[in-house]
Amino acid sequence: MMHRVEHFRRKAGQIAARSMFEGMARAGRLVPQADPRRHGVEVLRDIPYACTGAACHTLDVYRPTDRRGPLPVMLYVHGGAFCILSKDTHWVMGLAYAKRGFVVFNINYRLAPQFPFPAALQDACQALSWVVENAHRFGGDPTRLAFAGESAGANLVTALTIAACWRRPEPWAQEVFDVAPRVKAVIPACGILQVTDPDRIVQRKRLSQFVADRVTEVHRLYLPKAAPPDLDLALADPLVVLENAPPPARPLPPVFAFVGTRDPLLDDTRRLGRALDRLGADCEVRYYPGGLHAFHALVFDPRARACWRHQYAFLARHF
């Protein structure tokens, strides 16, 4: 009976979280300022990056309408604990980077638990290969490439960065190393960067049951329940890989990592900064007092506005 009650509580919480974020995204689109045309941006929707016919293998392109020559390229990977949300809930991010002169490829990927690790990362690798090959068709210059993502998306773009800078044994990671030009900048926001150990979060500070369930379900849903013996889970924990990595085969790109101080994942960003410093990377880490998880999505909040200013300044320095 207790097991069934816990299962119902977790499922209800997941539905509530998904409904809240999807509802906020839909409501945000109703605001006149959400119209991309007001910002000189056009959106090309539901472009397949894999020949499966599945919505999870599509992306949206956000690009400035006034393009003079090829523009830098941003690969954006949405969050949602690897099991909810989509490119459609993260339209704000595509619009925000396109306003600053990027051709943004905002991707979908397969979600857990139906598709556990490494499906999402395999899809991100495949999307990156497609973007490198096709960015010129949309006015982008794939030799000027950035990655960005928040929460689970930050995990995935950090893993992509590792695959681009170290030759890994996984075939899909090797493809990234082979096809990706040098990455110019990475923005991992409020990342959950060590999936295999949720206890480090729930035991660090007292969390509400709702938040604790969201943290532990990442481990429970994203990692395969019956993993084949040859499956390496290392890139589910890109933070740990970086903490223990030898010098990279290619220079690490500049990184802008940020998090709110009321985010349960705060310590992952702290550790990421230390790991990148150890490896000699150009890393800027910012903490926003009182910011909750993914606070920067609430663009009307003063902390979010400051965060976007800092991101834009970081990108301007490196592009």
Q: What is the pLDDT of residues 80-95, one digit of tens each?
A: 999 999 999 999 999 9
The total domain count for the chain is 1
The pLDDT value given to residue 14? 67
Residues 6+ apart with CB under 8 A from 66: 40
In angstroms, the CA 234 to CA 226 distance is 16
How are beta strands 71-77 and 140-150 bridged, if at all?
parallel
Q: What is the CATH number of the domain that holds 151?
A: 3.40.50.1820
Q: For the segment 213-235, what is each residue's pLDDT rounded down to a tens digit?
A: 888 889 899 999 877 778 899 99
Chain centroid to CA 9: how far?
A: 27
Percent of the chain with pLDDT over 70: 95
The pLDDT of residue 1 = 55
Of 47, 65, 59, give the one whose Cα is nearest residue 106: 59
Please enumerate in sequence order all residues whose Cβ is within 8 A of that of 285, keeping only pairs 6 or more positions apart, or say none.
Answer: 257, 258, 269, 270, 272, 273
Write down the number of H helices and E strands in the chain: 10, 8
Give every strand in the sheet of 103-107, ordered side by side. 41-48, 58-64, 103-107, 71-77, 140-150, 183-189, 255-260, 283-288
Parent domain of 230: 2-318
Task: Provide the β-strand partners of residue 285.
Answer: 257
Position 127 pLDDT exceeds 60? yes
Q: How confident is the model at residue 154 (pLDDT cuts 50, 70, 90)?
A: very high
pLDDT in tens, 25-76: 787 777 878 899 999 999 999 999 999 999 999 999 999 999 988 999 999 9
Q: What is the phi/psi pair of residue 91, to 5°? A: -65, -30
Arithmetic mean of pLDDT, 145-151: 98
Amino acid in position 84: I
d(CA 34, CA 1): 47
Give the end-to-end CA distance of the chain in Å, rounded to a whole number: 57
Global confidence as pTM = 0.94
pLDDT of residue 213: 81
pLDDT at 3 over 70: no
Query: Rounded CA gap, 168 and 189, in Å?
Result: 24
For residues 62 and 50, give the distance between their C-alpha atoms in angstroms, rounded to a whole number.
19
Choice between 248 and 21, residue whose per-residue pLDDT is larger: 248
Mean pLDDT value across residues 179-196: 93
Alpha-carbon span 12 to 79, nearest angstrom: 19
List Cβ neighbours of 57 (8 Å cut-off, separation of 6 or more).
48, 49, 50, 108, 109, 110, 123, 126
Alpha-helix residue ranges (DSSP H) falling in the chain: 2-29, 91-99, 119-134, 152-165, 171-179, 199-202, 209-222, 238-244, 266-278, 302-318
